[in-house]
Amino acid sequence: MKVYKFGGASIADAHRMTALLPLITAAELPLLIVVSALGKTTNALEQIVRLAAGSEKEEARKYATLLKEQHLEYAQNLLSGSYFHETVALIETFFAEMEKGIVRADTRNFDYSYDQIVVVGELLSTCLFSKMLAQNGLDNAWVDARTVVRTDDTYRDGAVNWGQTTRHAKLLIGMPLEQHKIVVTQGFIGATPQGNSITLGREGSDYTAAMLAAMLGAQSVTIWKDVDGFRNADPKQFPDTVKIDALSYNEVIEMAYYGAQIIHPKTIKPLQNNHIPLYVKCFLDKDLQGSVIRDADPNDQYPPLIVLKQDQVLLQVTTRDFSFITEDNLSRLYAIFHELKIKVNIIQNAAISFVTSIDNREDRVSALVEVLGKDYKVLTNHGVSLLTIRHYNATILEQLTKGKQILLKQETRKTIQVVMK
């Protein structure tokens, strides 16, 4: 059994979705297909949440109606006859579910409100995908991932109950796979113990694909994207990037930790634990080799791997009484960052100061400075960048920092990081 995951770009319009048919007809069966929401749907749903939670419910309904019309038009371009009419009925059902979410939305319980509305995006895309396959002679079963994936009640970042979800996956996906050979389900979504809809956080669709692959003993996972594979840096930020044919699980985890828009570590871990390779291939040309993430090979050689995180804030926290930044102060500082849900991207501490770089999220930065300011002196540098280079050399470091003011620098055997302005 194999797992295919299709993101929003691969199904941006009806033509693109139909163009995926050769990938699926050529695949080995059984095949589990995990699908994200169409194109910019999640952005539109987030706008609906903000309006509904902010007591602008009629405005939220206007956006919901527009989104519904877009999905009906998509269905009309994709399907015909009974397949179209059945899909219209499903779309109506999902938007009725969204209406309940709009009615209940409240800023006091924003994360809960968010999940009750945003899950609809994946439900819509997968019903379209499933009907498209059926219309083209590919028997398949559509499975609501909320009946399979069980989590805690941390809305917008649900922690999966691995044991319960494994039991559900084997029954509700494994058995249909034996019968139909193809199952279509949603990424990103699940359900709480109370049965409420929940989302799995950043890169949740990739995580769903990896998680179900591990639970069902898949041979491999393939994520279909609009790129030819992994590159050593973001082509939007750097010219002359290099494609990498193979990376180890650990290398990808390191890069994701440093901020690369690659594959989230929580996606990699279930695959690494079960030695399941993850392929990244181009849906625009299935014959391209792509890239693979797998167990480390002693012969692996990497070019410099570059991550540039812009719009950072560098904070210097100093004790007011000039006491040392030792275990007691560090534990207090870490507790504050944890409480405010702020990820530190680099840390360095000296005798009486603690320096860190964080993402410039204005609301959280302001709250952090306010809390820290009660006991510490806080200095900030806004508009800085964090450059990370793995497998670096002096030449590439000089090229990428030329003309920059280096505010902080850390170096290990494989990795160098600099905060620069």
pLDDT given at position 282: 96
Q: Which residues contact 237 (CB under 8 A, 6 or more apart)?
A: 308
Task: Answer whether 2-225 and 305-420 agree in fold.
Answer: no
pLDDT given at position 222: 98
> Domain map of the chain by residue range?
2-225, 305-420
pTM of the model: 0.90
pLDDT given at position 228: 92
CB 299 within 8 A of CB 364: no
Q: Which residues contact 14 (CB under 8 A, 6 or more apart)?
A: 74, 77, 78
pLDDT given at position 398: 96
pLDDT given at position 8: 94
Widest distance between CA atoms in the chain: 77
Query: For the chain, how many residues are written?
Result: 421
Q: Which helix (H) or strand (E) holds 52?
A: helix 41-53
Give residue for tokens 């691995």. Answer: 162
CB 307 within 8 A of CB 255: yes
pLDDT given at position 256: 87
**Domain spanning 2-225, CATH architecture:** 3-Layer(aba) Sandwich (3.40)
pLDDT given at position 148: 98
pLDDT given at position 262: 80
CATH topology of domain 305-420: VC0802-like (3.30.2130)
Report the alpha-carbon distance of residue 391 to residue 238 in Å, rounded.
Answer: 17
Q: Which residues contact 241 (CB under 8 A, 6 or more apart)?
A: 231, 232, 233, 234, 235
Question: What averages of pLDDT result for each successive group of 10 residues across the chain (421 residues)?
Answer: 97 97 97 96 97 96 98 98 98 98 96 98 98 98 98 96 98 97 98 97 91 98 94 92 95 89 88 97 94 94 96 94 86 94 92 93 91 94 96 95 96 96 95
